[in-house]
Amino acid sequence: MNRLRELRSVLNLTVLVAGLGYFVDLFDITLFGVVRVASLKDLGLTDPSDIFQKGLFIYNAQMAGMMVGGLFWGLLGDKRGRLSVMFGSILLYSAANLLNPFVWDVNSYAACRFLGGLGLAGELGAAITLVAESLPKEKRGLGTTVVATLGMLGIVVAALVAQYLHWKAAYVTGGVLGLLLLFARFKVSESALFTQKGGPERGNPLLLLTGGRFTKYLGCILVGVPIYFTTGILFVFAPELTAGLHVQGTVTAGNAILFGSVGLTLGDLSSGLLSQWLQSRKRAVGFSLCAWFALVLVYGLMPGLTPTLIYALTFLIGLTVGYWAVLITMAAEQFGTNIRATVATSVPNFVRGSAVIAATAFGQLKGSLGVAHAALAVGAVCFVLALVALARLAETFHRDLDYVESANPASADAPTGSGA
C-alpha cells in the first residue's frame, strides 16, 4: 500500500503527458505486428512464406527508421531541449500513420513504416529524460514506471482495436491519437536541469566514444535485447513459430501480442516497484532476465503445448521481460545531463533495432535448426549478452543527475550517489 501511495504522489502533469505520449508511441509500434497478415493480403500477397518474408522486410524497415531516429532525436534533445523532440517526433509519426492507408505495394508500405519508425524513435527517450530530471531521485523510478506502464497499455489497446477495425482505420486511429496528444504537450515545461547545465558540449556524440562511456552505452543496449527478441519474434511471429512447434490449433499474432502486452504492462509496473523495494535497478533487471529465460526454455522445449498454454506462457514471458522502464531509467542515470537525452533516446531504439538482427538470425537458422531450436539459440545468445552487460554496469539507484560529461575528465562534474 505504501508503494501505491508513492505512485500516486508522482502523478503530476509532466508524468501523465509523458505516459500518454508513450501510450500512443507503443500503440503505433504495435499496429504492424497485429495487422501484418491482413494488410499484406490486401496488397495481393497470398502465400504464407511470402507474407512472412515481406512482413519481415517491412518490420525491419520500421526498426531501421527507429535506429536512425534514435540518434537524430537524441542529439536534438540535448542540443535544443527535451520538449522539441516531444513535439517534432509526434508530428512525424502521426503524419506517417495517416499516410499508411494509401500505400499500394510492399515497398511503399516499407517506406511509410520507415518514416513512422523515424518519428516514433523520439518519444520514449525524451519522456523518460524529462521525467527523470523533473523528480527527486527517490521518486524518479516511480515516475518512469508510471510512464512505461501507461505506455504498455498502448500495446494492449492496439492489439484489441486492430483486431476489430480494418487495418487502414487502425493506422488512421493512431495518427489521430498522436495529433490529439500534441495539444496536451503545450502545458508541459522544459527540464530545469537542461536549461541550467550542459554548456558548449550539449549533444556532442563524441563524448560517448571516450572515457569508458561507449562500454556503458553498449551495455545498456545489450541489457535490453531480450525484450525485443520477445516482442519481435515470440509475439509478432507466433503463428509461424507455433506451427513449427506442432501446436495443435491456431495461434494468432493478434492474440499473442494481446496476452504478451498485458504481461508487459504488469511487468513494467511490478519491475519498477521491485526496483524501488530492492533499492536497486540492477537486481530487479537480473531477476527479470533469469525468470524470462527459464520461461523461454519451457516455450521452446515443452511438448504438447496448446494455444491456451501458448497464450499463458506468452503472458508470463511478457511479465518477466517487462523491465523496460527500469532499463531506460538506468541508462539515463548512467550519463550526464549534456548527453542524457542522446543516450535515453538512442538506447531504446537500438534495443528495438536489435530485433532486426534477432529476427534475421531466426529466419536464417530456422531452416537448418528448426523453428524451436532456432528461437532458443537466438534467445540464449540474447540472454548471455544481457547478463554479462548488466554485471558490468554501475548501480545508479541513488545517483544524483545534476552533472555533465566532458571530453576532459578533469573538468567533468562527478556524479554523486551509489555507483558514482
For the segment 133-148, what is each residue's pLDDT rounded down to a tens digit? 888 777 777 888 888 7
Is the pLDDT score of 1 beyond 70? no
pLDDT for 322 = 87
Stretch 80-93: mean pLDDT, rounded?
83
Closest to 320 measured CA to CA, from 275, 300, 290, 350: 290
Task: Judge whether 416 lies within some domain.
Answer: no
For the segment 17-63, what is each residue's pLDDT rounded down to a tens digit? 888 888 888 888 888 878 888 889 998 888 888 888 888 889 888 88
pLDDT for 383 = 94
pLDDT for 78 = 82
Rounded-to-integer distance, Cα 366 and Cα 233, Å: 12
Stretch 197-220: mean pLDDT, rounded?
79
For the segment 215-251, what is each residue's pLDDT rounded down to a tens digit? 999 999 999 999 988 987 888 778 878 887 778 888 8
Is the pLDDT score of 382 beyond 90? yes
Task: Judge whether 195 lies within some domain.
Answer: no
Task: Judge whether 415 lies within some domain.
Answer: no
Residue found by looking up cell 503545450 in the block: 186
For the segment 10-25, what is each residue's pLDDT rounded down to a tens digit? 677 788 888 888 888 8
Name the CA radius of gyration of the chain, rounded. Answer: 20
Rounded-to-integer distance, Cα 230 and Cα 49, Å: 21
For the segment 245-285, what is each residue's pLDDT rounded down to a tens digit? 778 888 887 788 888 888 988 888 888 889 888 989 999 99
Rounded-to-integer distance, Cα 131 and Cα 140, Å: 7
Rounded-to-integer distance, Cα 334 and Cα 252, Å: 39
**In which band, very low, low, confident or very high, does the pLDDT at 406 lie, cut at 50, 70 and 90?**
confident
Task: Show the domain range for 11.
Answer: 2-189+203-406
Is the pLDDT score of 74 beyond 80? yes
CATH number at residue 270: 1.20.1250.20
E strands in 56-146: none
For the segment 114-136, what is each residue's pLDDT rounded down to a tens digit? 999 998 888 877 888 888 888 87
Closest to 277 measured CA to CA, from 4, 33, 29, 91: 4
C-alpha cell, 256: 499473442
Residue 309 CB neighbour total at 10 angstroms? 14
Is the pLDDT score of 414 beyond 80? no
pLDDT for 197 = 62
Task: Judge whether 196 lies within some domain.
Answer: no
Task: Judge whether 198 lies within some domain.
Answer: no
Task: Judge whether 124 lies within some domain.
Answer: yes
Closest to 231 measured CA to CA, from 134, 146, 127, 314: 314
For the segment 310-337, what is each residue's pLDDT rounded down to a tens digit? 899 999 999 999 898 889 889 988 988 8
Length of the chain: 420
Is the pLDDT score of 392 beyond 70? yes
Mean pLDDT score across all residues of the chain: 83
Report DSSP state, residue 329.
Answer: H
Closest to 219 measured CA to CA, from 285, 153, 297: 285
Task: Judge whether 413 lies within some domain.
Answer: no
Sequence letter at residue 55: G
pLDDT for 152 = 77
Name the domain count of the chain. Answer: 1
pLDDT for 409 = 54
Pick the residue with more confidence: 102 or 237?
102
pLDDT for 418 = 53
Is the pLDDT score of 411 beyond 60? no
Rounded-to-integer distance, Cα 237 and Cα 37, Å: 11
The region that residue 103 occupies, defined by phi over 0 for left and psi between -120 and 50 for alpha, beta otherwise, is beta
Torsion of CA 53, 54, 59, 65, to 10 degrees: 120
pLDDT for 420 = 46
